[in-house]
Amino acid sequence: MDSLTLYGESFSSRLLLGTARYPSPAILAKAIEASRAEIVTVSLRREAGRARGGETFWELVRASGARVLPNTAGCRTAKEAIVTAQMAREVFGTEWIKLEVTGDEDLLQPEPFGLVEAARALSNEGFRVFPYTTEDLSVAERLLEAGCRVLMPWAAPIGSGRGINNLFGLRALRARFKDTPLIVDAGLGAPSHAAAVLELGFDAALLNTAVARAADPVEMARAFALAIDAGRRAHRAGLMTPRDFAEASTPVLGRAFAEDGA
């Protein structure tokens, strides 16, 4: 399989895995291994708030060998996200940051004005920004102008498990930004959803709730890894174009038949 390149670094896996809400650190470790993920996201706020177990968590992440992508989950303003990103750089020693600026409380929808503002400021500071955004083309343009080289559009609200809410919007985004790595982030609830976005030509998918809250997170992580691999292979192979009418797969020429009266 071809590799995924993000900010000049190459990865063989196209699955990014979140690390929140797992039943235990041991299950998280097994899920990372089963998913074959080479990038895991971590919320600085969430982990900093753990009075106990924090040491075990960091040991687990380091032992996985995956690259850490800190995020600014929970931030409501550009200023808050910028400060959180700066703290994450100090804690994790990385300039990679998944940028989240949340607007709506119910849908956890990205707030576009603060997102673009924070992306520009962080890019100017040397951060490699992975912005969590919607499928809006205008916002995507402004994020790229602000210095982002990767976009992370949602499929549906975080944790909803609805799959692709706006198929037309995601197709338009992929068509407009052909050379930009696009990682679908949020809303995927089943392996079939992940396969579908990779079939559309998206470069990767980021998952958390669908794996962490499964009855068997390890087996679900393995299922998503296989689905993403299948979706990418299908995209590269070239999917057939849907038709309105049937097309026989068995040729009529040379078919055996009996004449009347025979």
Domain 13-236 bears CATH identifier 3.20.20.70: yes
- CB atoms under 10 Å from CB of 221, counted, come to 26
Is residue 186 a known part of a binding site?
Answer: yes
Whether residue 218 contacts residue 32, with contact meaning beta carbons closer than 8 Å, is answered with no
Is residue 194 a known part of a binding site?
Answer: no
User: Among all residues, which ones are annotated catalytic?
Assistant: 98
CA 184, 132, 171, 173 dihedral sign is negative
Token digits for 230?
Answer: 């299948």
Is residue 19 a known part of a binding site?
Answer: no
- Tens-digit pLDDT profile for residues 124-161: 999 999 999 999 999 999 999 999 999 999 999 888 88
The pLDDT score that the predictor gives to residue 218 is 97
Q: CA-based diameter of the chain, in Å?
A: 90
pTM: 0.88
Number of H helices, E strands in the chain: 10, 10
